[in-house]
Structures are given as C-alpha cells and as structure tokens.
C-alpha cells in the first residue's frame, strides 16, 4: 500500500491536554488542520498494523508523544476504531524547523499465533522484531 505523507508538525500529548484532559486550543486547531489535510485512503478491514514516521524539529521531542492524537484523528477521519491496531512500527526523524511531517500507512495484520491443542490457549509462535 502507498505510504502517505502529510506536511504538518505532529502534536505532542503535552500540547494536546491540560488539567483533566480537556482538549486544548492547540489540539482543536491540529485536529481541524489534519482532518483537512488527510487524503482519501482505504483502511483494510480487521486487525491492523500501523506504520508512523514523525519528522520532528525538536531533538528533545519524544516521538511516542505524537502517536495518540494523530491516531485518534486518523481513526475519526477514516471511520475505524483504533482498538483494531495490534502492531505499530514507529520512527522519529530529525528535521529542520518548518519541515515537520508525518508519514503513515496501515496494513492488515495477522499475528503469529496458534492454539495449543492441550490447553486450548492461544500462544505466539515465531516472534521476531
């Protein structure tokens, strides 16, 4: 599937929430801009693997702080529940200020699992990075 790239600075959790988890103006602005920038994209049915690359201009930025807001807005735009994401591949890239971006794609995900016939429990097999 084609990798999608959106030229927008990812919003961190710290900038998105204040106090008792009320959306900040920064979050509302980010959501509005992102919903307009996201292109048409077909999300596969069933369990998903998400690939995210965040181009961040601050070397102090934690790449994982960008995931939740972006993922929630993408799920809203494309009409799926992000609980169906079972695997993530996430990367942080250092960029110059003003060149921030987010790349993403979603693929169908099938876990490497099997059912143990004796215990009737699901167990992972062939786990690898």
pLDDT digits (tens, 9 = 90+) for 68-110: 999 999 999 999 999 999 999 999 999 999 999 999 999 999 8
Q: Return the pLDDT at 63.
A: 84
pLDDT for position 34: 97
CATH numbers and ranges of domains, the chain: 4-124 (3.30.1330.70)
Residue 106's contacts (CB-CB under 8 Å, 6 or more residues apart) are 1, 41, 43, 44, 48, 49, 50, 51, 85
The yes-or-no verdict on residue 128 having pLDDT over 60 is no
């Amino acid at each position: 599937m084609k990798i999608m790239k959106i030229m927008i600075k990812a919003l961190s959790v710290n900038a998105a929430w204040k106090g008792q988890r009320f959306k900040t103006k920064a979050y509302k602005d980010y959501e509005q801009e992102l919903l307009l920038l996201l292109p048409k994209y077909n999300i596969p049915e069933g369990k998903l693997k998400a690939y995210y690359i965040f181009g961040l201009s601050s070397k102090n930025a934690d790449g994982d702080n960008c995931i939740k807001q972006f993922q929630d807005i993408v799920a809203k735009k494309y009409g799926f529940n992000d609980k169906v994401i079972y695997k993530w591949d996430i990367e942080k890239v250092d960029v110059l200020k003003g060149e921030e971006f987010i790349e993403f794609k979603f693929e169908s995900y099938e876990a490497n699992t099997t059912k143990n016939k004796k215990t009737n429990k699901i167990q992972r097999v062939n786990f690898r990075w």
